[in-house]
Structures are given as C-alpha cells and as structure tokens.
C-alpha cells in the first residue's frame, strides 16, 4: 500500500468553528502537540488573508521545529483574469515560507459560474497556473477540490477535469472535499472509486460532519483508495465541524491496521486532545469517541459483571491504546460487580467480600433513591465505601452546629451579603468561627475552612472550583429536595474531586457536600487525623 498522509487542519478549518478564536500564541502551542501526535501535515492558516496567520507563519519559521510534520499554508488559486505572479494572495503563500501549499479550488461547475462568475475553462486555467507556478517556486502543492462531491454528482466530467488539471500541473495530492458535509459513506466510496479509476495521483478526503458522517465518510474514502485524510482534533470546524481526526486515525490504526501516525502517537491521543481543549478553551466533549471521559465509562451493573471477567466483553478496543482509561460509574444501576470493580479502581480489593458488596450496593441504591448521584461524585462514594469497610465514617472533625444569614438592601448589591457561624470540634478543641461571604454557601465554606485550618492548614490549598444545584422534584415547588454537587481542586496536586449533598434546601445540601469535600481532600492528601491522642483516641465527636 502507498504511504499514508494524515493532514491536520485544526489551525485553519478548526479555527473556523463558531466561538473559537485562536491567538498566534495558541497556534504556536497547538502545533507542537499535533507534531507530537505524529500527523504528517499541520495546516497553519491562511497567510495573506488573516493577519494573525501571516504572523503565525513568520514566527513558526523561527520558533517551531517539527519532528514528524510538515507545515502547510492554505490559500486559494489566483483570481479569475489575474496573472499568478501578480496575485497578492499567491505571493503571501510563498512569503509564508511553508514547504507545502494547499490551494482551495473550485470543482463544482455551478460554483465556477455563480460564485466565481467566470468560465469553466478559466477556472481550470486558474488551477493549472497556480499549481505550476508554486511548483516552479519549489513548493509542494496539495489541491483541496472544494464542493467536489456535490459537483461530481451534478457534472462528473467537469469535476474530474479539475482533478486532472491539478495533477497535470504538478499537485502531489488532490483532496476531495465534502464542503457542505452532506455526503453519505456509500456515495463517497463510489465517487472516490471513480476518481481513482480516472485520475493518476494521490487522492485525499476532507469531510465535514453536517450529515453526522464525517468520520464514516473519511473511512469510506480510504476503503475506496484515498491515502490522504484531513480532519481536526476534537472534530472542531465550521458549522458541525470537520472529521474528528483522532477518531479517524484510531479507526485506521486499530481497526484497519494502517500505521498512519509517526512515533506511536496514538497512545497520547487522549492527553493531546485534552491539552488542545485547554488551549482552545472549549470544554472536552465527554462522549467523544475514543478520547471522551465517558468513552470507556460503564454504568450498567450487568456490563460490570461481564467486564469483571473480561473488559473486552463490553469495550470495542483497549482504552490504553488511545491513552484513555476504563472507569466504573456507581449509581442505582450498579450491582455488586460494579462496586467490586470501582473498589479496585480506588485501590481497595473487595473480591470475596460478598456481604460488604451487598451492603454497599444496597446503600447506594437507597441513597440514589433519595437524590444522591454517585456517578458524578466519586469522592462521596469513596467515603461511603470506607465507612462500610471501617465501620465508621472517615472524619477529621465534628460539627456541633452552624447557622447562616443573608442581609439584602434592595437596590444595593453587596459583595459580602451573607454571614455564617460554625461551631466545630477540631484537634481536641472547640472552634467557633464566623465568616462573611458572597451568598450563604460561600460564607459557610469560608467559616468551615476558618474553623478547620488551624489544625489542618492543608485546607488552604483546596479550592472550590464548581458548584451545581439541581431541584429534584419540581412538583413539590419550594419543598422539593435539593441536590448539590461540589467540585474541589487540590491546587498543589492539581487533582479534582466531586462530592454530593442532598437536603431539604440548598444550604443543608451544600453543607454536606462541602464537609465531604474537605474530608476527602485531607484523606487523599494522606493527612493524619490530628484530633487523635497518641493512643488513638479522639474526643471531637463525643
């Protein structure tokens, strides 16, 4: 088989996604990650059209040194009626110093006549002239045949003439684009097969996801003989996005046996996809194939019982192959096998402890019926599990009482409009702490930490980073049960955990989730219980 090109267009077509705005620095950070993944080409943008992209190529030439990838600059063929060497856009492509230039060209005759407003022959001349000029200037050229599939279905002969013109002028690859993203895999397979039969050269596929088939269409093109695939990390891109390049390469490599990434990069796919999400500031999609947090997360108890025997029974591939992990989710759908596997994930060997597994399963189901949700709150589940294992709930302090009030002056919003007082027993002492906050939960959180910190200064590095509230039974209006999920981060360890609280109102539910978040944080940081006397006695909770 031919060698295989993986061509990433995250920095160009991915950046066309609504809400994405990449700075030059963002691009300079993303490009090395793509290189590390092992793609063959990184399309950096459109120099000459977008000032930031012009700047990116200038800095990339000085600052980036790829191990695996070639940098490609994207732009259009010369304008209709213009002379190639005088076309400012074409000049900007050369000035980018990119070794590879990808030209977008029209191949749908309707676009030639209605959008370009030129003749079919002039469009073919634009392709020929621009490709041969850039080749003459020593650049490698790829041609993106825009609207190729729609154009082929309307006028196959003309679409093919555009492909042949590019090859004859020296393009090394013609990439067939499903620009409007409406194709289906069978249509793509058939058309790519026909192009392969008529044109001599490397054929590529550039798929958009408007029909939800971008990855499938890319694979169909490969099955029909394409040896160059384009796509974007995390499926970024205009409208519904481009083909998710991670899923395309994982399928090619793991399912079809094509070795398409250099340097074993597939094992870093999850890490790199998430690192790029951090830079784009677009939250990762949990259900994204292969790399999503839920991609190998199992909730149903029956699945867990088979997974206990062999994970392959409920997984299409080994998560480690793409750098992801299997996870068990604990909920009212859990069975004893789910608890055993979750225990293993958390570092507890529960095998053979049938009574304990039954007790934990029953407690989880009862608690979930009251509104708790452990699949979103691993830390609260671990506290429950430890309580069943040790016969006592882990704790570092005891609460005597707490109160909070809110003061509002109409028309005068205030930063600190709430005040909380907590009475706790910590480290053998009775602590009374009062704190103000922006809202009652913030005030309670501050007072709790103030009471605990003298004995456990580690709490100062725990930060509450997310807080979600849900009213569970709307039919009961203000009497409904409230569920609160709190996400906390240990800023030193850069680890996060979730705890859950349920109560008749938001403040009681929050208190439970906040206390659990501190207790879990101290446990995971390996902090000793400083309330204990040397002989292991604590009087805090008497």
Ligand X SMILES: CC(=O)SCCNC(=O)CCNC(=O)[C@H](O)C(C)(C)COP(=O)(O)OP(=O)(O)OC[C@H]1O[C@@H](n2cnc3c(N)ncnc32)[C@H](O)[C@@H]1OP(=O)(O)O
Q: Which one of ligand CC(=O)C(=O)O, ligand X, none interacts with residue 483, CB within 5 to 8 A by kind?
A: none
- Residue 208 or 303 having the CB closest to ligand CC(=O)C(=O)O: 208
Q: Which of 463, 495, 498, 468 is nearest to 483 (CA)?
A: 468
Helix orientation angle between 336-346 and 301-309, rounded to the nearest 10 degrees: 60
Q: Which one of ligand CC(=O)C(=O)O, ligand X, none interacts with residue 455, CB within 5 to 8 A by kind?
A: none
Q: Cα separation of 318 and 419, whole Å?
A: 51
- Residue 105 or 513 having the CB closest to ligand X: 105
User: How far does CA 80 lie from the centroid of its chain?
Assistant: 41
Per CB under 6 A, 104 contacts ligand X: yes
Per CB under 6 A, 57 contacts ligand X: no
Q: Cα separation of 447 and 442, whole Å?
A: 9
Per CB under 6 A, 103 contacts ligand CC(=O)C(=O)O: no
Per CB under 6 A, 375 contacts ligand CC(=O)C(=O)O: no
Q: Which one of ligand X, ligand CC(=O)C(=O)O, none interacts with residue 206, CB within 5 to 8 A by kind?
A: ligand CC(=O)C(=O)O
Among 27, 78, 128, 206, binds ligand CC(=O)C(=O)O (CB under 6 A): 206
Among 36, 108, 129, 144, binds ligand CC(=O)C(=O)O (CB under 6 A): 144
Per CB under 6 A, 20 contacts ligand X: no
Q: Cα separation of 266 and 323, whole Å?
A: 7
CB of residue 147 to ligand X, shortest distance in Å: 8
Per CB under 6 A, 146 contacts ligand X: yes
Q: Which one of ligand X, ligand CC(=O)C(=O)O, none interacts with residue 49, CB within 5 to 8 A by kind?
A: ligand X
Residue 252 DSSP class: I
Per CB under 6 A, 43 contacts ligand CC(=O)C(=O)O: no
Q: Cα separation of 457 and 438, whole Å?
A: 23
Q: Cα separation of 282 and 20, whole Å?
A: 8
Question: Checking phi first, is residue 468 left (phi over 0); if not, alpha (psi -120 to 50) or beta?
Answer: beta
- Residue 280 or 417 having the CB closest to ligand X: 280
- Residue 178 or 340 having the CB closest to ligand X: 178
The b/e string for 25-64 (b: 16+ C-beta within 10 A; e otherwise) is: ebbbebbbbbbbbbbbbbbbbbbbeeebbbbbbeebeeeb
Q: Which one of ligand CC(=O)C(=O)O, ligand X, none interacts with residue 79, CB within 5 to 8 A by kind?
A: ligand X
- Whole-Å CA distances, 229 to 66, 174, 200, 215, 261: 20, 11, 17, 10, 12
Contact 111, 151 (CB under 8 A): yes
Contact 471, 482 (CB under 8 A): yes
Contact 90, 96 (CB under 8 A): no
Per CB under 6 A, 50 contacts ligand X: yes
Among 20, 29, 32, 49, binds ligand X (CB under 6 A): 49
Contact 446, 416 (CB under 8 A): no
Per CB under 6 A, 116 contacts ligand X: yes
- Residue 179 or 338 having the CB closest to ligand CC(=O)C(=O)O: 179
Query: What residues pair up with 247 in beta bridges, in sequence order?
Result: none
Residues 5-34 that bind ligand CC(=O)C(=O)O (CB under 6 A): 13
Rounded CA Rg of the chain: 30
- Residue 14 or 38 having the CB closest to ligand X: 14
Per CB under 6 A, 96 contacts ligand X: no
Contact 235, 210 (CB under 8 A): no
Which tokens in the block code for residue 273? Answer: 């996809």
Contact 5, 41 (CB under 8 A): yes
- Residue 76 or 253 having the CB closest to ligand X: 76
Per CB under 6 A, 179 contacts ligand CC(=O)C(=O)O: yes
Under rule CB under 6 A, how many of the chain's residues touch ligand CC(=O)C(=O)O?
A: 8
Residues 173-212 that bind ligand X (CB under 6 A): 179
Binding site for ligand X (CB under 6 A): 46, 49-50, 76-77, 79, 104-106, 116, 146, 179
Binding site for ligand CC(=O)C(=O)O (CB under 6 A): 13, 104, 144, 146, 177, 179, 206, 208
């Amino acid at each position: 088989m031919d060698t295989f090109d993986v061509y990433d267009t995250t920095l160009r077509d991915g950046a066309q996604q609504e809400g994405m705005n990449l700075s030059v620095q963002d691009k300079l950070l993303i490009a090395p990650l793509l290189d590390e993944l092992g793609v063959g080409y990184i399309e950096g943008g459109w120099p000459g059209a977008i000032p930031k992209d012009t700047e990116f190529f200038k800095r990339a030439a000085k600052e980036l040194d790829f191990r695996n990838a070639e940098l490609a600059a994207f732009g259009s063929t010369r304008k209709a009626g213009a002379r190639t060497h005088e076309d400012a856009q074409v000049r900007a492509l050369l000035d980018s110093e990119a070794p590879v230039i990808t030209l977008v060209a029209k191949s749908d005759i309707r676009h030639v006549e209605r959008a370009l407003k030129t003749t079919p022959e002039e469009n073919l001349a634009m392709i020929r002239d621009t490709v041969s000029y850039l080749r003459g200037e020593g650049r490698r050229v790829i041609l993106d045949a825009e609207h190729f599939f729609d154009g082929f279905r309307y006028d196959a002969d003309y679409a093919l003439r555009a492909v042949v013109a590019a090859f004859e002028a020296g393009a090394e690859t013609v990439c067939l684009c499903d620009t409007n993203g409406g194709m289906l895999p069978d249509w793509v397979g058939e058309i790519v097969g026909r192009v392969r039969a008529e044109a001599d050269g490397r054929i590529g596929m550039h798929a958009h996801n408007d029909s939800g088939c971008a990855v499938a269409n890319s694979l169909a093109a490969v099955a029909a003989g394409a040896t160059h695939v384009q796509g974007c990390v995390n499926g970024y891109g205009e409208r519904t996005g481009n083909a998710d390049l991670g899923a395309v390469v994982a399928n090619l490599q793991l399912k079809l046996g094509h070795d398409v990434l250099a340097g074993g990069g597939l094992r870093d796919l999850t890490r790199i996809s998430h690192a790029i999400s951090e830079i784009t500031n677009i939250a990762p999609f949990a259900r994204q194939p292969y790399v999503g947090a839920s991609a190998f997360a199992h909730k149903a108890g029956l699945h867990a019982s088979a997974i206990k025997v062999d994970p392959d029974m409920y997984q299409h591939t080994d998560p480690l192959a793409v750098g992801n992990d299997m996870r068990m989710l604990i909920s009212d759908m859990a069975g004893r096998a789910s608890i055993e596997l979750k225990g293993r994930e958390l570092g507890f060997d529960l095998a053979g402890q049938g009574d304990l597994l039954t007790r934990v399963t029953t407690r989880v189901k009862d608690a979930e019926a009251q509104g708790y949700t452990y699949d979103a709150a691993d830390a609260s589940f671990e506290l429950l599990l430890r309580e069943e294992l040790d016969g006592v709930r882990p704790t570092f302090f005891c609460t005597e009482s707490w109160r909070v009030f809110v003061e509002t002056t109409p028309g005068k919003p205030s930063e600190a409009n709430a005040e909380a007082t907590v009475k706790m027993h910590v480290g053998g002492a009775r602590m009374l702490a009062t704190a103000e906050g922006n809202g009652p939960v913030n005030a309670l959180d501050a007072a709790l930490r103030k009471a605990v910190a003298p004995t456990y200064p580690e709490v100062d590095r725990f930060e509450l980073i997310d807080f979600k509230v849900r009213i569970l039974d709307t039919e009961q209006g203000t009497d409904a049960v409230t569920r609160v999920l709190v996400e906390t981060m240990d800023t030193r360890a850069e680890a996060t955990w979730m705890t859950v609280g349920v109560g008749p109102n938001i403040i009681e539910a929050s208190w439970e989730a906040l206390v659990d978040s501190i207790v879990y944080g101290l446990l995971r940081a390996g902090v000793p219980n400083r309330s204990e006397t040397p002989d292991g006695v604590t009087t805090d909770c008497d």
